[in-house]
Amino acid sequence: MTYAELCVTSNFSFLTGASHPEELVLRAAELGLDAIAITDRNSLAGVVRAYSALKTLRKEAHEALRIRSSHQIDTCSRQEVGSPQDLAVPTMRKLPRLVIGARLALRDCPVDWIALPTDRAAYERLSRLLTRGKRRADKGECHLDLADLLEGCQGMILIALPPPDLVQARTPIQTLARRFPGHVFLGAAPRYDGSDQAWFDACAQLALRCAAPMVAVGDVLMHHAARRQLADVLTCLREGLTIDRIGTRALPNAERRLKGAEDMARLYRQHPAALRRTLEIAVRCCFELSELSYEYPDEISGDEAPQQRLERLAREGLTRRYPRGAPERAHRLMSKELNLVGELGYAAYFLTVHDIVQEARSRGILCQGRGSAANSILCYLLAITDVSPDMIGMVFERFISRHRDEPPDIDVDFEHERREEIIQWIYERYGRHRAGLCATVIHFRSRAAIREVGKVMGLSQDVTASLSGQIWGMSNGGADPARIRELGLDPSDRRLGQTIRLIGEIVGFPRHLSQHVGGFIITRGRLDDLCPIENAAMEGRTVIEWDKDDIDTLGVLKIDILSLGMLTCLRKSFELLESHEKIRLCLDTVPQEDPETYEMLQRADAVGVFQVESRAQMNFLPRMKPATFYDLVIEVAIVRPGPIQGGMVKPYIRRRQGLEAPEPFGPALAEVTRKTLGVPLFQEQAMQIAVVGAGYSPEEADQLRRSLASFRRMGTIGAQRDRFVKGMLTNGYPIEIAEQCFAQIEGFADYGFPESHAAAFAMLTYVSSWLKCHHPAIFACALLNSQPMGFYAPAQIVRDAREHDVELRPICVNHSAWDNRLERRTDGALALRLGFRQIKGLREEDAGWIVAARGNGYPDPESLWLRAGLAPGVLERLAEADAFVGMGLNRRDALWAVRAIHAPAPLPLFSDPLDGEGLREPEVTLPPMYLGEEVVEDYVSMRLTLRAHPMELLRPSIADLTPHHRLITAPLKRTSVCGLVITRQRPGTASGVIFLTLEDETGVSNVVVWPKIYERFRRIVMGGRLLRVTGRLEREGIVVHLIADSIEDLSHRLADLGHPMDEAVGVTQPQADDAPRPQRYPPRAHHPRDQAKRLFPSRDFH
């Protein structure tokens, strides 16, 4: 007896299904089902994952079954999915067929309909039908009516799922049965309440009356009974209930799991024909996702064939890039790539990307290709990338391979402020019926899982806040039971233990679909023939239901239209340079190999510089001492998880410093790693080692690189090692060298960095470094005007600009604009005037009115109010930011003045002369604010200050501290530093080590917190805003680290800056006769540490 399950809800029916599509497919294989249909509610979002899982099972059935029945890695969220406990794996009988379908819920019909396309044409109609329902609704909704089914369901099997009252189902079933004879069935799903046989009998009678044969369906919600409690939690989340109030909405048992043929035969023992029909329907539904063919648009070619146009543009690019004649290597690479592109049919893809890039440049938008595409001379000749073959050893197989069942992927970065122009142009050029963004699956991560599951399970807000507060960054690990007792909770509590288990199960579950950062799908025909399209939350955007991994699985080409803040910063820098210094530059014309620029980087003077401003990069710069462009390529790539995990960083630095000789492993491999001193740092080098040393073909080497991560997870890494080592032994290499080479390649498995990508980024590193070195005021101004971006907040950018002798001028209603701007000083240098954009809560529109009505200036706040027409709240924000200082008004005087402005004076007709004396406020003299009060108010209103640093004010009251600028000469002994936490980092490659960056008035200090110290001071490290750290000083050249052994939270001392912190966060304590006043700032934070967070937030990185 066999069975096909035709009604399965996965967790892509968000907050309904309790199992991943992959788990359901695996379980179906274990149960020996003939077929399984993934039928999510008004969606095809999960079908590709099921298809991919089944494809993998077919390819490596035995190994894949063993792995996927335990922990499974979701490729989109890069985290484990499913229950932490492995399930027993029965012997596999056969692999099921995957039936594609959807569960259609209608607005005007009580019957749900399982729609199963029988062929590709029917699938396209289903996709269009879903698109129609989604495009007429808001994001996440689908509005379909019975009329839509009558119009668009030709060629589909329709299975009606009737409501409990079968009378309501009769008319719609009869209507569709008459419209699609032979294609409409009545699905009878068990109720599991003791009345199944009576229900089946009633369904059979209705089926006869409607000429819609009855078919058995399980209406499955989970792959295994263990997910029953999670299914109830999902119901509560969906309905906004706690578990104690779920009532009859709870599943009465775990029977809505996926069942085998024997279990279903027992249930339908009186209706065996209903079981047989499942097999008959499955046979009729012969459509597979592999049938979807994708064709890239070709209208760009005009009268030319795409390949001919590509070849012509490549030849023209060759002439443009090499005006004195191209070398033989360039000709050879171009011919090789053109031949392969023609063979694989990718010419139209290259032409489309070229078209988009040309449109951006015609609009003056900076853009640059990166990633593996920079391994292509075609991309260089088409001006998609600027990485030439002279810079790197191009390995085209890293980009395109005839042996790789995957399309190429070209990533292009655009200015982050103007990328939307290009996105909308793509929609206009190709039409929304042919272009759409990929989806991104938003998963439950630990914080969200703790918060939402905790609420469902009835945990108090304090308990859930305590649990989630112990999760670092965007962790995926759930709540750690080891922390429970530390938080003062009882780990043996049944409800708490159950909650923690459920949190672990839901982590990794899809929560909803969002839009990809920029992955565009553009088709020759209708995009909704490929998959459904829905509206995005952002106005003017549409999104397909599949994410980038789904697209890759099906071999669909996409273009990544990405945003990069540094490109915005560079464009603004070039504009400022031309307007203020009359120097016209672009990315290609910035002076190259400038010694002063490299000297600046060697000092680790890199705040704001692209890719080398992080703590780790700044520590590495003085050791690396970059002096050429290729040094920057290495610098960008070496401080990455791949080289670090492969043990390649220290050997490289020792060789660069002349402390050890390179070990080239023989002449053949010496050339592969010559530029990196015998240490493989790039993915391309790992591939070349496999080719040169172990006898792999280029395609095999690329497959090895791509497969190492999965080999490790699946436990088959040993077989790959054996093949590699054997190949090197055959070529005459000693066993020690063979094993060492493989260990280095293995380090690239998850985190390897391509040389082409590093070269593309290094170009921006150099340009931003040159601007910072030679035009610090211009660079700082552009950097501030491009926020949010980068590693540091505006407060640190302002501090760094001052250290480069840039005069900073405060916000002023008579001189500032929305953007920060440059003003010429009397000595000819440029000063930086802060703009209105730095004021929290001020709108650009209001700033525009200030500038438009300013004329020769505003003499007083009232004139600003009258001429610019600003609301009283806007005037208060300006006063709070001390923006009236140019009028001779301090912050308090300005606030007094603007709060006196309420409404126009009454007309004389209605005024009472006897009351005239009371219309004018008496003159008052307000006490001046202390410097500490001014600093606090600066941070409240702007998150930065041009006055004193908080540590400058607090230092006299905190004994035995060493300021940052003295650490370079301080004795290497136990030392204490204190400062504001500006960044926290916990890299995955650091074995649990935390890196803190503390800022005082003299600079920033690097603090290393080892795991044992972190465990002792965990809450302080994660929550403190002003820390005093004591530990051992370590120094290597100009790089200084403090190895912490004691950490003290001094966040409460920030209250000493001027007045109570309650005032600083905008909560005033009213006097007895005061009326309550609205709060200007967020609600009161009860702990000084939390109050400090509001004023001095840090940037934390995982």
CATH number for the domain spanning 772: value is 1.10.150.700
Q: What is the model's pTM?
A: 0.83
Least confident piece of the model among 22-36, 224-238, 612-626, 741-755: 741-755
What value does the mean pLDDT take over residues 492-516? 89
Q: Which are the contacts of 812, defined by CB distance < 8 A and separation ≥ 6?
A: 833, 883, 884, 885, 886
Q: Is residue 927 in some structural domain?
A: yes
What value does the mean pLDDT take over residues 504-512? 92
Going by pLDDT thresholds of 50, 70 and 90, the confidence category of residue 1089 is very low
Q: What is the reported pLDDT for 910? A: 52
Least confident piece of the model among 204-218, 715-729, 751-765, 803-817: 715-729
Q: Which are the contacts of 617, defined by CB distance < 8 A and separation ≥ 6?
A: 606, 611, 635, 639
Asked if residue 579 and residue 561 are part of one domain, the reply reads no
Asked whether residue 881 carries a pLDDT value surpassing 90, the answer given is: yes
Asked if residue 305 and residue 205 are part of one domain, the reply reads no
Check which CATH number belongs to the domain holding 874 and give it: 1.10.150
Structure confidence by residue, pLDDT tens digits, 943-983: 999 999 999 999 998 999 999 989 988 888 899 999 999 98
Asked if residue 953 and residue 863 are part of one domain, the reply reads no
Structure confidence by residue, pLDDT tens digits, 994-1012: 899 999 999 889 999 998 9
Asked whether residue 16 carries a pLDDT value surpassing 80, the answer given is: yes
Going by pLDDT thresholds of 50, 70 and 90, the confidence category of residue 676 is confident
Write the DSSP assignment of 845-914 as a string of letters. HHHHHHHHTTTT--SSHHHHHHHH---HHHHHHHHHTTTTGGGT--HHHHHHHHHT--SPPPPGGG--GG
Q: Is residue 605 in some structural domain?
A: yes
Asked if residue 351 and residue 267 are part of one domain, the reply reads no
Q: Which domain holds residue 711?
A: 648-750
Largest CA distance in the chain: 110
**CB distance 79 to 476 below 8 Å:** yes
Structure confidence by residue, pLDDT tens digits, 146-174: 999 999 999 999 999 999 999 999 999 99
Helices and strands in the chain, H and E counts: 45, 25
Domain boundary, last residue among 546, 565, 584: 565
How many domains in the chain?
A: 7
Asked if residue 982 and residue 875 are part of one domain, the reply reads no
What value does the mean pLDDT take over residues 720-728? 86
Structure confidence by residue, pLDDT tens digits, 50-99: 999 998 888 766 554 444 444 444 443 434 444 434 344 444 557 999 99
Going by pLDDT thresholds of 50, 70 and 90, the confidence category of residue 795 is very high
**CB distance 1029 to 964 below 8 Å:** no
What value does the mean pLDDT take over residues 253-279? 95
Check which CATH number belongs to the domain holding 55 and give it: 3.20.20.140
In whole numbers, what is the pLDDT of the chain averaged over residues?
85
Asked if residue 528 and residue 491 are part of one domain, the reply reads no
Asked if residue 558 and residue 627 are part of one domain, the reply reads no
Other Cβ atoms within 10 Å of 247 Cβ, number? 7
Asked if residue 812 and residue 683 are part of one domain, the reply reads no
Structure confidence by residue, pLDDT tens digits, 869-878: 999 999 999 9
Q: Is residue 1097 in some structural domain?
A: yes
Query: Which residue do the tokens 């209608």 mark?
Result: 106
Domain boundary, last residue among 565, 585, 601: 565
Segment holding 706, helix H or strand E:
helix 698-714
Q: Is residue 573 in some structural domain?
A: yes
Asked if residue 540 and residue 464 are part of one domain, the reply reads no
